[in-house]
Each structure stands twice: as C-alpha cells, then as structure tokens.
Amino acid sequence: MKVKIGFILLCLAGSIQAFAQQRKAFTLEDVWKNPVWREEGLEDINWLKTGSQYSVLEKGNIEVYDLATGKKVKTLLEGSQLTFDGKPIEIEGYTLSPDDKKILISTETEPIYRRSARSKFFLYDLEAKKLSALADGGKIYLATFSPDAGQIAYGYQNNLFVFAIASGKITQITQTGKPNEIIHGSTDWVYEEEFEFWKAFEWSPDSKKIAFLSFDERQVPTYNMQMWGGLYPKDYTFKYPKAGEKNSRVDVSVFDLASSKTLDIEEGAENDQYLARFQWTKNSNILSVRRMNRLQNKLELLHIDASTGKIEIPLTETSPAYIDINDDLVYLSNGKEFIWSSDRSGYQHMYLYDNSGKLLRQLTSGNWEVSDFLGIDEKKEILYFQSTEDGSVQRQLYAISKSGKGKKRLSRGSGTHSVSFNPSFSWYIDDFHSAASPSEYSLFQADGKLVKVLQDNKALKTRLESFTISPKTFFEIQIPGNVKLNAWMIKPSNFDPQKKYPVLMHCYGGPGHQTVTDAWGGADFFWYQMLADKGYIIVSADNRGTGGKGAEFKKATYAQLGKLECEDQTAAARYLQSLPYVDANRIGIWGWSFGGYLTSLCMTKGAEVFKTGIAVAPVTNWRFYDSIYTERYLKLPQENASGYDDNSPAMFADRLKGHYLLVHGTGDDNVHFQNAVSMVNALVKSNKQFESFYYPNRNHGIYGGNTRLHLYQMMTEFLERNL
C-alpha cells in the first residue's frame, strides 16, 4: 500500500511539474504590442432623458439599453452607415442633445495637451435622419449643446462661437483671440494641466447667457521645443509659466445672446490670482466663481450678478498650507442651499450651507475621506459619495441623508468602486475592480440592488487562468516617527523564504496621489509579473504627502517637497533590507514624473541604500516646473529658495553611487526635457557615470507605435544588468 501511495504521489508531482511547465510566461510584446492584456470597458455612456435608458458606444455604433432589464433596446445610430459627402464618418465620441433628438459626433480627433483636442464635429438629427457638419467641417473644440438643445457653443482659434441649430446662424462672441496671446472660452496650458479643466465656458440654465473665462497670456514667458523629423527641425512654442514667473491674467465675462452684449466682470484690483472654478447656480442670473490667491491657501466663493456684475462673497476658506480645488460644489434646486467639500476637520468631508454662506450642518464626519462626492437625489434627500471609510486603500460607495444621518454602504466587495449615476439618481453603473481582478461594470438600482452585469472582462479573466499570477499582498511599514506607510508586495511565483531576492520599488509619491490602492494595476502589473518570474520582488509604498489618510499626512510635505518623501522611501527600503528573504545589497527603485523625481532624489540623497534607479520624465529642479503646481506645495521661489533647492536632485548629483538610468521625451510639454539636460550636466560636472535615453518628439506619456515596448525592454534589460 505504501508503495502504491508513493507511486501515485510521484506521478502527481510529475503531473504538477509538467503542468507548471505548460503555464505561459508573460512577455513585453503581449503587454505593449499586442492587445492581449487590454481591459474592455463601456465607452461614452450617455443617460437618456427618459430616465429609464442609457446609450453607449459599442463597436462603432450607438446602442440604447433599458435600465430595468439591462437589455439592448435599439441601435440609435449605426456607425458603418454614417457618411458625409460620400466619405465614411467614424464615431470617436458623441453627445446626445438634452432632448435626445440630436447627436453631436466628434471624429478625426487631434490631441493638443493632456485634456485638450481638436475634432471635426457633425450634427445628426435623429428625426430627420440628416447629418450636417459644424464649422464647415473644420476642426473645432469643446462643442456643447445649450440646455434647451437649440444651440451649440464651440471654440475655434482661441475665440468662442455659437451656432443656432434651427437657423444655421453663427454668432462670434469674441474677436480678439490669438495664439500665445489671448484665449477666450478655453484655458491656458497651466490651468488645463493643474486645475484639470479645459472648457472655460458655461451655458446658463435658461440658455440665454454664456459665461466664459478669458486668458491674457502675453506677459507669460514662452517655452520652445524643437520637433524633429524634417530636414530642419521645427520650433513649437507655447506659454508656460514656471515657478515665480508671470501667469496669465484671467477674467470672467457673461455674454447675453438676446442683446449680443458682453458684461466683463470686475473681480477686484488683484490680478495675480486664480479663477479655479466657475459654474452657474440654479438661478440663471447668478454665476458662481471660486477664486484663489496665488499661494492657493485662500479660497473665496463668489456669487456674481450676471446683469450688473455685483459680487458677493458668502464663503471664504483658508489653510496654513494649501487648499485643493475640486468639483464637489453643488447648488440645490430649491435655490437656497449648496453642498461644499472641505478638509478643515483634518479629513475631506461635506457641508451644507445656505446661499448666504451660513453653515447649516456638517453632513459627513470621521477619520476618513470623502474621496468623491457623486451628487444628491433631491427628491429623496439622499447624498451619494465614494469614501475611504473601509480603509485608505479602498474606495467604496456610500449614501447618507441630507440630515447627515442614516449613512449606509452600498457597494460590495473589497477594492475600488467608481460610480456614475443617472440624472435622477435612480440607477448607477459601478466600475468595480481590485488588485486581483480587472474591471467589472454592473448596473444597479440606487438602493444597491444589482440589475445586471454589463461587462465582466471574462475573456481577460479566462486568459489570466493560463498564467501563473503572483498576487499583490497589502501590508504596512512602520518607520521612525511612529509613521505607518501603506505598501504592497509581489513575490516570485516560486518564492522560497530561504532564498534572498532583489527588490524593485515603484514610487510616485506626489501630493494627494496613491500607488497603494486595492485597484487593478493595468499594464505595469503584467510587467511586474514578468519581473517576478525573473526572480525579483516588487514593492510599492506610499510616503507622507500621498492621499487617503487625511490632511495632516498629505500636507506634511508643504514647503519642503521631496524631503519627507525621500526619507520615507529610504526608510521603507531599510525595512525591506531587514527581511530575511531580501538581498539587502540589491534594492532598486523606479518611477515616472513625480516618481522619476523621487527616484532621482533617492539615488542621490539616499545613495547608501539604493543600488539601482530608473527615472522616467523626472523633475530635477523645481524651478523648472509650472507655477500653479509648484507654488501650491513650495510657495514662490522668491520666498522659499531653500524649499526649492534643498530637494532638487540636480543639486545633489555628486552623491550618486548606484546605477542610474534617466529617460525623457524631447517633446514633453509638461516636465520639460530641460530637466534631463540639467541633471545630465550636473552628473557630468560631478564626473558620475550613468545611462540616459531620450525619445524624440514624445510627450510626457512617451508612447506611440513601438515606443512603450522599446522603453520597457530597455528598462528590463537595465534591471537585469544592474540589480
């Protein structure tokens, strides 16, 4: 009997070994060249006016689904049949008119910066089944229906226009727009990047007025990039205010369509300020503007009479550090109240005010963050929000009454829930994913009852079953000062605790951001799987300054950006060195953008700990970066020189000891190639050997064609040689 059991075990072991040998290996080609690991999603969801249906772009068609059943009802528009002047039109994006009778279609889209783009726009009349071109088929931007569905406003060559659908009449609202000088109705580079919006005009609720911002950037210094490819390189110039330099002057105006007159609002004598958000209240004559001082530690809520220009300031917030702007301000339909979001308690929470600025009540409270206010069902007086109450690496959906009582979690499953409600807040679509599973899109009733799974990425999940996955495990790292850092770790699939492994740390570390969340890791996750198969442990730790843990943790880095971040990453690395299965002499680190900056700092100021570092598109001197971002966290360089210089990697190039790879795109409009040049000069001056690579004309994302594949092949080979 013993012999038979031994024989069976021997055969079983052989079968397991053979099966393991058959398990597929991860390759960079599958990550970056072939769409093997690409997630499927729901493209361009539009909620229909009926409240019981939604539309979505699927395989080039606009399909309509029923909310109650989750089943497809009809094809609203078949993309393959769409032509104009005999040429096919590909639907790249679309918007339904407020009355659901027309569709605004964008195609041949040409990206400009991170959020901005130009497109050809076509208007399709669903009743007449007629397609027409906006702006004679030229490329325009930000085409937006009026609330009454009768007009479309859009931008063209820095000016603002309105197209009347019934008559075909075009009204040019502004006349003085000119590249690199004046912009009307869209933002300048730094607003788009740092205040995260590009559309700078808003229709009034009654469709009779348009409020818009104008940017005078004539005094802003110009940045020049050479674009390579022809016999002679071409110069690309744009206005980019670096820290301490002049910003655009920004003004708000209101155009009245009936009178064709523009009211320019006088916001005060102070020009060096930011109009960081603007929107209409429920009153079509009252415009809401959020104004910040240049240091961004004072935020004022302005209520502006759109007929007279009179300004009232019902609310002012201040901070000893800085205030983050958000989109959480919601005016209620009763015309008397608004909901406001603030971290004044130490954590981001929601507050109810009357329109005069009187605080009525705090709606949420606790040692956790409201990470996203999703809106309010005013009939039922229920607010919906995403929060970190179940842990700072989690994002869960909650509901609470307008009274601030009856808080209830609606989402199920540990991970990240990103939710989109229909306008009546009776249904929502939940994009749920975790570190262990890609996105699953599901339709729910507002009370959290599941209606139907819309997209489960089953094909991707099935494909994953053919591979050996090394899961992320979450833990905390205790560092000096009684500080705990969230972290995750990926171990080799054949991990042996008796062996010692090299560690590659991944960092971002910038203000308010997290790399350690229970969320699907995307393409980098598969690269880490490949590295784990090669015998590397991968770790990421969120230093002080990152999000999810309240204002004190996030704002600890104020006026000394990089100092605590570098100390924390170094302390995390020392903790990893103490683990029995880690090779203490083989700790590497890599990051992109702020992560590239932090990597460069760790390789210089933390040179005793890190053997290898890869910095992609890093800031190397904070004096080179833009005004809004840099001054928010470091003040102006004229008043905090040490805050800039004491933690800029180029200042510490002489400390480099390990193997350092510096990568940058020459067409990076965000973190300029100037940063790489400065770092290289400093390293050469200090006679430090290093490796560098530049990608011609590539922007901050460094992509296009084989670019990402080439980059990750290079980084992999660099790690294999040096870690």
Tell me which DSSP letter residue 379 carries: T
In a domain, 545, yes or no: yes
- For residues 528 and 538, the answer to whether their CB atoms sit within 8 Å is yes
Domain count for the chain, please give it.
1
Q: With pLDDT > 70 as the criterion, what percentage of the chain qualifies?
A: 97
- On the question of pLDDT at 12 being above 80, the answer is no
Q: b vs e for 308-343, b when ≥16 Cβ sit within 10 Å of the residue's Cβ?
A: ebebeebbebebebbbbbbebbbbbeeeebbbbbbb
The pLDDT of 294-300, averaged and rounded, is 98
The pLDDT of 548-563, averaged and rounded, is 98
Domain of residue 474: give its range. 23-36+461-722
Q: What is the pTM of this model?
A: 0.94
Please give the mean pLDDT across all residues of the chain: 94
pLDDT, residue 390, reads 97
In a domain, 423, yes or no: no
Torsion on CA atoms 639, 641, 647, 651, rounded to nearest 10: 160
Reported as a pLDDT band with limits 50, 70 and 90, residue 23 is low
The pLDDT of 2-16, averaged and rounded, is 36
Q: Which residues contact 220 (CB under 8 A, 6 or more apart)?
A: 188, 239, 240, 241, 245, 246, 247, 248
Give the pair of three-digit tokens for residue 342. 């603030």
Reported as a pLDDT band with limits 50, 70 and 90, residue 267 is confident
Give the pair of three-digit tokens for residue 266. 């006088």
| DSSP SS3 for 175 | coil
In a domain, 509, yes or no: yes
Q: What does the DSSP assignment read for 78-106? A: -GGG-EETTEE---SEEEE-TTSSEEEEE
- On the question of pLDDT at 9 being above 50, the answer is no
pLDDT, residue 583, reads 98
Lowest mean pLDDT: which of 222-231, 249-258, 265-274, 332-341? Answer: 265-274
In a domain, 661, yes or no: yes
Nearest in space to 47 (alpha carbons), one of 93, 98, 107, 102: 98
- On the question of pLDDT at 20 being above 80, the answer is no
Reported as a pLDDT band with limits 50, 70 and 90, residue 13 is very low
Reported as a pLDDT band with limits 50, 70 and 90, residue 70 is confident
In a domain, 515, yes or no: yes
- For residues 250 and 213, the answer to whether their CB atoms sit within 8 Å is yes
- On the question of pLDDT at 24 being above 80, the answer is no
* Pairwise CA distance, residues 624 & 701, whole Å: 18
Amino acid at 191: Y
Q: b vs e for 496-533, b when ≥16 Cβ sit within 10 Å of the residue's Cβ?
A: eeeeebbbbbbbbbbbebbbbbbbbbeeebbbbbbbbb
- On the question of pLDDT at 43 being above 90, the answer is no
pLDDT, residue 50, reads 81
Q: Write the pLDDT tens digit of every residue in 337-355.
A: 999 999 999 999 999 999 9
The pLDDT of 50-59, averaged and rounded, is 89
Q: Write the pLDDT tens digit of every residue in 380-399.
A: 999 999 999 999 999 999 99
> Which helix H or strand E contains 189, and what residues bound it?
helix 189-190
Q: Write the pLDDT tens digit of every residue in 497-544.
A: 999 999 999 999 999 999 999 999 999 999 999 999 999 999 999 999
| Alpha carbon 385 to chain centroid, angstroms | 18
The pLDDT of 32-48, averaged and rounded, is 88
- For residues 214 and 182, the answer to whether their CB atoms sit within 8 Å is yes
- For residues 375 and 415, the answer to whether their CB atoms sit within 8 Å is no
CATH of the domain at 482: 3.40.50.1820
Active-site residues, by number, are: 593, 668, 700
More confident residue, 605 or 267: 605
- On the question of pLDDT at 143 being above 70, the answer is yes
Burial classification of residue 424, based on how many CB atoms lie within 10 Å of its CB (0-12 exposed, 13-18 middle, 19 or more buried)? middle
The pLDDT of 23-40, averaged and rounded, is 88
- For residues 263 and 253, the answer to whether their CB atoms sit within 8 Å is yes
pLDDT, residue 42, reads 85
Lowest mean pLDDT: which of 50-59, 89-98, 233-242, 610-619? Answer: 50-59
In a domain, 438, yes or no: no
More confident residue, 269 or 363: 363
The pLDDT of 688-700, averaged and rounded, is 98
Place of tokens 């510490």: 652
Reported as a pLDDT band with limits 50, 70 and 90, residue 16 is very low
| DSSP SS3 for 116 | coil
C-alpha distance across the termini of the chain, in Å: 50
Burial classification of residue 224, based on how many CB atoms lie within 10 Å of its CB (0-12 exposed, 13-18 middle, 19 or more buried)? exposed
Q: Write the pLDDT tens digit of every residue in 301-330.
A: 999 999 999 999 999 999 999 999 999 999
Task: Please provide residue 99's backbone torsions phi and psi, each rounded to the nearest 5 degrees.
Answer: -95, 5
In a domain, 275, yes or no: no
Question: Strands 130-133 and 151-156, how do they pair?
Answer: unpaired
Tell me which DSSP letter residue 679 carries: H
* Pairwise CA distance, residues 243 & 219, whole Å: 14
* Pairwise CA distance, residues 63 & 309, whole Å: 44
Reported as a pLDDT band with limits 50, 70 and 90, residue 426 is very high
